[in-house]
Amino acid sequence: AQSVTQPDIHITVSEGASLELRCNYSYGATPYLFWYVQSPGQGLQLLLKYFSGDTLVQGIKGFEAEFKRSQSSFNLRKPSVHWSDAAEYFCAVGTPNSGGYQKVTFGTGTKLQVIP
């Protein structure tokens, strides 16, 4: 069975600083990889996804993520954080189940605080 680890429960960065959120997964092959963002009181919104091809993926709101097969990682990055980026971020992996449908497993989330 697949699993997802987000080792940082809470991260604080200054506005304008760079950001990297870590995500590691466990699965026997390359899964489908996602990053979602949850703003306070909101549902989850997709930031970006990786299925194959170029290992550096661009997403919305200036985010990018890099898939590293050797490290089983899919870390999320942003060069310059804005106060509006304060939210909770979830990494997720999708793998096919026995019926051919996608089974998605979420990490426990990283809460980002942005300080002036």
Tokens of 95: 């793998």
Q: How far is the CB of 70 from another protein (least distance, A)?
A: 22
CA distance 9 to 71: 20
Among residues 87 and 94, whose Cβ is nearest to another protein? 94
Nearer to another protein, 76 or 94 (CB): 94
CA distance 64 to 47: 9
Query: Given the rule CB under 8 A, which residues bind another protein?
Result: 6, 9, 32, 34, 36, 41-46, 49, 51, 90, 94, 96, 99-104, 106-109
Handedness of CA 91, 7, 58, 38 (dihedral sign): positive
Which of 23, 81 has the CB closer to another protein? 23
